[in-house]
């Protein structure tokens, strides 16, 4: 199975399937609570988050995390990788 097929598979299983996409792209300063609630308990949450990280998604809620939370996670991963390489 190729990567594109895998992408389609996880999206087909997502809790957000059929939910208004605007919910996941709130206006600046608006609450992200409702979108994150849809993500909570989603069986493909980690696939969604990984997709956003790998593809550099800069906007919206992906895998239950906001842009700021994903930036923090990317920094933490980069630091962990640097520590592993230098160890």
Closest CA to 36 of 72, 78, 68: 68
Confidence of residue 87 (pLDDT cuts 50, 70, 90): low
25-32: long-range contacts, CB 8 A cutoff, minimum separation 24: 25/59, 25/60, 25/61, 26/61, 32/61, 32/66
Domain extent listing, the chain: 3-86
Q: DSSP letter for 44, please.
A: T
- pLDDT tier, 1 (very low <50, low <70, confident <90, very high otherwise): very low
2 band by pLDDT with thresholds 50, 70 and 90 = very low
Whether residue 81 is predicted with pLDDT greater than 60 in this model: the reply is yes
The mean pLDDT value of the chain amounts to: 89
Q: Angle at the Cα of 34 (from 37 to 67), degrees rounded to 5?
A: 90
Q: Is the pTM of this model over 0.85?
A: no
Mean per-residue pLDDT for 21-40?
95
């Amino acid at each position: 199975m190729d990567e594109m097929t895998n992408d389609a598979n996880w999206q087909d299983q997502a809790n957000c399937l059929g939910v208004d996409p605007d919910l996941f792209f709130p206006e600046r300063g608006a609450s992200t609570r409702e979108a994150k609630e849809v993500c909570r308990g989603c069986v493909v949450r980690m696939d969604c988050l990984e997709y956003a990280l790998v593809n550099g998604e800069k906007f919206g809620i992906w895998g239950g995390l906001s842009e700021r939370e994903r930036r923090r996670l990317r920094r933490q991963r980069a630091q962990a990788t640097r520590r592993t390489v230098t160890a």
